[in-house]
């Protein structure tokens, strides 16, 4: 498939968010189920020392591509299943190798970014985490640690580095899958795509952040008023999972808008397929 790098207006960032939520609305159980599957697999792999964490990091590019494929299937009036996680590896041998290589490269660069952050903050975050563990839940000790430590700047440093790292990897899995590009070419093309459309990406990021913060604050205040504080985690978790699923579905629209035929103004009406 021939891809063309396109420039879109900043307002399209809002379009991506809206379309991601509309796709979620069409198949909420199936899509949130896919996200729950990812979370469950990640939690299980955490029990495998080191190797499990490396596998989780390596799989992240494929996970983003899987949700692009799922969004595409929903638009075709199909119900996505867990098979979307394997579809990128079932094309040609060259593309399968490229996807695996991309995942390994993502793992290596993420580790290097975290090592750089550790060097830049002098290990402040690690020391703060050790102090929190030693505090054993003591509120006064935790308050003192929060007041004296450099947790805020250390976390912000890591978030910034990971955000910068995400730019070359944002579209890379899709460029390999649909465009047949090699790893380095896909990373370069993804960087160009994000940079050329940085206004739309910035608006999209702000809207997703505002939605997440708004939902958390609204539900928290409502639970406080109704005296349902103990139920707060059970209410927030599915809502935040739904928002994260909508975000991952919106990745499909960022890709087609920047490299293919452009995101539509309105999604086509859903039609039922015969069974």
User: Which of 25, 67, 81 has its CA nearest to residue 269?
Assistant: 25
In the chain, pLDDT over 70 holds for what percent of residues?
Answer: 89
Would residue 10 count as lying in a domain? Answer: no
Would residue 6 count as lying in a domain? Answer: no
Would residue 273 count as lying in a domain? Answer: no
pLDDT per residue as tens digits for the range 228-260: 888 888 889 999 999 999 999 999 999 999 998
Q: Give yes or no for residue 150 having a pLDDT over 70.
A: no
Residue 20 gets the label, from left (phi > 0), alpha (psi -120 to 50) or beta, of alpha
Q: For the whole model, what pTM was predicted? A: 0.88
Would residue 60 count as lying in a domain? Answer: yes
pLDDT per residue as tens digits for the range 81-93: 999 999 999 989 9
Q: In which band, very low, low, confident or very high, does the pLDDT at 143 lie, cut at 50, 70 and 90?
A: low
What is the arithmetic mean of pLDDT over 102-127? 89
**Domain of residue 181, residue span:** 15-259
Average per-residue pLDDT in the chain?
A: 89
What is the arithmetic mean of pLDDT over 212-221? 92
In 76-197, alpha helices (H): 93-120, 124-135, 139-148, 151-170, 172-179, 183-196
**20 to each of 72, 78, 161, 185, 245, how far by Cα in Å?**
11, 16, 26, 27, 8
Least confident range of 3-12, 36-45, 151-160, 218-227: 151-160
Q: Which residue has the higher pLDDT, 272 or 201?
A: 201
pLDDT of 260 reads 82
Would residue 1 count as lying in a domain? Answer: no
Rounded distance, CA 95 to CA 180, Å?
Answer: 7
Looking at the structure of the chain, the number of domains it has is 1
Would residue 235 count as lying in a domain? Answer: yes
Q: Give yes or no for residue 69 having a pLDDT over 80.
A: yes
Q: Give yes or no for residue 275 having a pLDDT over 60.
A: no
């Amino acid at each position: 498939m021939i891809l063309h790098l396109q420039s879109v207006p900043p307002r399209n960032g809002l379009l991506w968010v809206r379309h991601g939520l509309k796709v979620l609305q069409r198949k909420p159980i199936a899509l949130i189920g896919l996200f729950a599957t990812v979370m469950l697999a990640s939690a299980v792999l955490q029990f495998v020392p080191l190797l499990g964490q490396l596998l989780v990091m390596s799989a992240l590019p494929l996970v983003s591509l899987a949700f692009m494929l799922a969004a595409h299937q929903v638009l075709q009036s199909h119900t996505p299943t867990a098979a979307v996680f394997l579809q990128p590896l079932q094309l040609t041998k060259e593309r399968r190798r490229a996807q695996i290589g991309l995942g390994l490269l993502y793992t290596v660069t993420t580790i290097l970014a975290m090592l750089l952050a550790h060097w830049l903050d002098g290990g402040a975050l690690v020391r703060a985490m050790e102090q929190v563990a030693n505090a054993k839940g003591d509120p006064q000790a935790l308050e003192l640690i929060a007041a004296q430590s450099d947790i805020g700047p250390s976390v912000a440093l890591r978030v910034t580095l990971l955000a910068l790292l995400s730019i070359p990897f944002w579209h890379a899995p899709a460029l390999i899958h649909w465009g047949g590009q090699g790893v380095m070419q896909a990373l370069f093309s993804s960087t160009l795509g994000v940079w050329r459309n940085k206004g739309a990406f910035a608006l999209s990021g702000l809207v997703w952040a505002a939605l997440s913060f708004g939902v958390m604050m609204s539900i928290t205040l409502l639970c406080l008023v109704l005296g349902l504080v103990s139920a707060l985690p059970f209410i927030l978790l599915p809502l935040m999972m739904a928002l994260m699923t909508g975000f991952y579905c919106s990745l499909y629209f960022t890709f087609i808008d920047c490299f293919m035929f452009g995101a539509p103004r309105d999604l086509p009406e859903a039609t039922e397929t015969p069974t």
